[in-house]
Amino acid sequence: MKEFDLIKHYFSEQSVNRKDVIEGIGDDCAILQPNEKQQLAVTTDTLVAGVHFPIETLARAVGHKVIAVSLSDLAAMGAEPAWVSLAITLPSIDEKWIKDFCSGVFELCEYFNVQLIGGDTTQGPLSITVTAQGFTPVGKHIPRGGANAGDWLYVTGEVGDAALALQVIQGKIKVETIYQETLQRKLDFPQPRVLVGQVLRDYASAAIDISDGLAADLAHICVASNVGVNLIIDNLPLSTAMRDTLSLDSAYKMALNGGDDYELLFTVCDDNKVAMETAIANTGVNITCIGQLNSSHKITTLLNGEHIYIDLQGFEHFS
């Protein structure tokens, strides 16, 4: 049984169905409505040493990343982050490590005005769980399931660099020295697209953050929205490091199947396209249109206007 079947089979079915749970299990965050004026977005993510980050990762980077991945889920719902809780399991007390870890945590928290409000500290193999909470205006969160045939598909930033960085660290791929630092930074210090997410509330029909890989997370939008997509491979935003290191074919595959990018993948109806592009231009974050949705229930890949077959995968635990 795979990760998502397991969640569906064992955790999604329950006898309690509260009216204040607007979105339960299945999206980047749950959406809760404590009163008629406000909605809360809530997400939990765990990073396990050796699974989600190489053991030798700098403590500051681990601290940054654990906050970044949670804020990225809030961004994918269009939420404004407010609070985090931190549960940490440590093999031993290494004060230098903890100090550096905390600097990574608090740097990002300060930047987004997010307060650490609690957590838990235990002994065992290194693993960190963060629950992040934020606000969305009532009825304005961006679901995975709101996309329609005809909508345009966009992605922020560049994709595939985190996967490339991991392969470089693992010694599987060599890159020119000038790219080493930027790639390492992309993997260790992802920038959650918090502002873009909030701007998209007024324009996007669906959104998800790319944690498992563009193709896998696009499939989540397609399944939840009951649509398919023509994906224009030529348009995939690739960094110079990617283009200079890999053949175009390998770069496309890595951009589609590599995880850990924490960019936003979102859809916009034709009527909102121009206004959205103008609004996002003000955030300073690049976005690229990479396809259009249809009613096929399939992901079709096009290169130079012609269909090509690409083996689409994505990270899944227990697969």
Among 23, 28, 45, 212, the residue binding Mg ion under the rule CB under 5 A is 28
Nearest distance from C-beta of residue 182 to Mg ion, angstroms = 24
User: Is 11 one of the binding residues for ligand ADP (CB under 6 A)?
Assistant: yes
Return the one option of ligand ADP, Mg ion, none that residue 260 interacts with (CB less than 5 to 8 A, by type): none
Q: List the one residue out of 39, 1, 91 whose CA is nearest residue 30.
A: 39
Nearest distance from C-beta of residue 175 to ligand ADP, angstroms = 27
Nearest distance from C-beta of residue 269 to Mg ion, angstroms = 22
Among 21, 25, 223, 274, the residue binding ligand ADP under the rule CB under 6 A is 25
How many residues make contact with Mg ion (CB under 5 A)? 3
SS3 80: strand
**Residue 76, burial from CB neighbour count under 10 angstroms (0-12, 13-18, 19+):** buried
Write phi, then psi, for 35 (nearest 5 degrees): -150, 180
User: Is 26 one of the binding residues for ligand ADP (CB under 6 A)?
Assistant: yes
Q: List the one residue out of 101, 86, 190, 85 whose CA is nearest residue 134.
A: 85
Among 2, 5, 7, 150, the residue binding ligand ADP under the rule CB under 6 A is 7
User: Is 261 one of the binding residues for ligand ADP (CB under 6 A)?
Assistant: no
Q: Provide the residue type at 84 as one letter.
A: V
Which alpha helices (H) appear in 78-154, and where do they start and end? 95-111
Q: Give 73 or 161: the residue with its C-beta nearer to Mg ion.
A: 73
Binding mask 154-193 for ligand ADP (x = CB under 6 A): ----------------------------------------
Q: Strands (DSSP E) along 210-298, which ranges?
A: 228-232, 264-268, 287-294
Structure tokens at 234: 């030529």
Among 31, 33, 40, 45, the residue binding ligand ADP under the rule CB under 6 A is 45
For 111-115, the CB contacts below 8 A with 24+ separation are 112/71, 112/81, 112/194, 113/81, 114/67, 114/71, 114/81, 114/82, 114/83, 114/84, 115/82, 115/83, 115/84
**Which range binds ligand ADP by CB under 6 A, 24-32, 53-61, 97-105, 110-118?**
24-32
**Which range binds ligand ADP by CB under 6 A, 22-30, 87-95, 191-199, 235-243?**
22-30
Query: Which residues make up the interface to Mg ion (CB under 5 A)?
Result: 28, 73, 209
Query: Which residues make up the interface to ligand ADP (CB under 6 A)?
Result: 7, 11, 25-28, 45, 73, 211
